[in-house]
C-alpha cells in the first residue's frame, strides 16, 4: 500500500469513527463538556493512575463505598 493511500484510509476511518460516536452519543468525543476527569496515564503510569482515580472516588463517595455490607 502506498503511503498516500494509507493516509487516506486512516482519515476515512477516523471520520467514520467520529460520525459513529456523534450519532450514538450525541456529541463529539473531543467535547470537553463531557470530560469529567482527564489523566495522563503515560505520566503517572498504571499504579499512579489507579491511585489518582481511587482518590477521586474516595473524595466523591467517601470511604463507605469500600466498607463491607455484612
Tens digit of each residue's pLDDT (9 = 90 or more) over 20-57: 999 999 999 989 899 888 899 999 999 999 999 999 99
Indicate if 41 and 19 belong to the same structural domain.
no
Indicate if 68 and 49 belong to the same structural domain.
yes
Q: Which residues, 6 or more positions from 68, have their beta carbon under 8 angstroms from its beta carbon?
A: none
Indicate if 25 and 8 belong to the same structural domain.
yes
Indicate if 40 and 66 belong to the same structural domain.
yes
Domain region containing 52? 36-70
Q: Please state the domain count of the chain.
A: 2
Q: What is the pTM of this model?
A: 0.53
Indicate if 22 and 46 belong to the same structural domain.
no
CA–CA separation, 24 and 18 (whole Å): 10
Indicate if 44 and 21 belong to the same structural domain.
no
Indicate if 40 and 27 belong to the same structural domain.
no
Backbone angles phi, psi at 38, to 5 degrees: -125, 120
Tell me which of 69 and 45 has the higher pLDDT.
45
Amino acid at each position: 500500500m502506498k503511503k498516500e493511500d494509507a493516509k487516506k484510509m486512516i482519515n476515512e476511518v477516523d471520520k467514520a469513527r467520529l460520525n459513529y460516536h456523534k450519532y450514538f452519543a450525541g456529541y463529539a468525543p473531543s467535547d470537553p463538556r463531557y470530560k469529567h476527569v482527564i489523566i495522563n496515564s503515560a505520566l503517572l503510569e498504571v499504579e499512579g493512575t489507579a491511585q489518582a482515580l481511587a482518590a477521586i472516588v474516595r473524595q466523591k463517595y467517601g470511604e463507605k463505598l469500600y466498607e463491607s455490607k455484612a
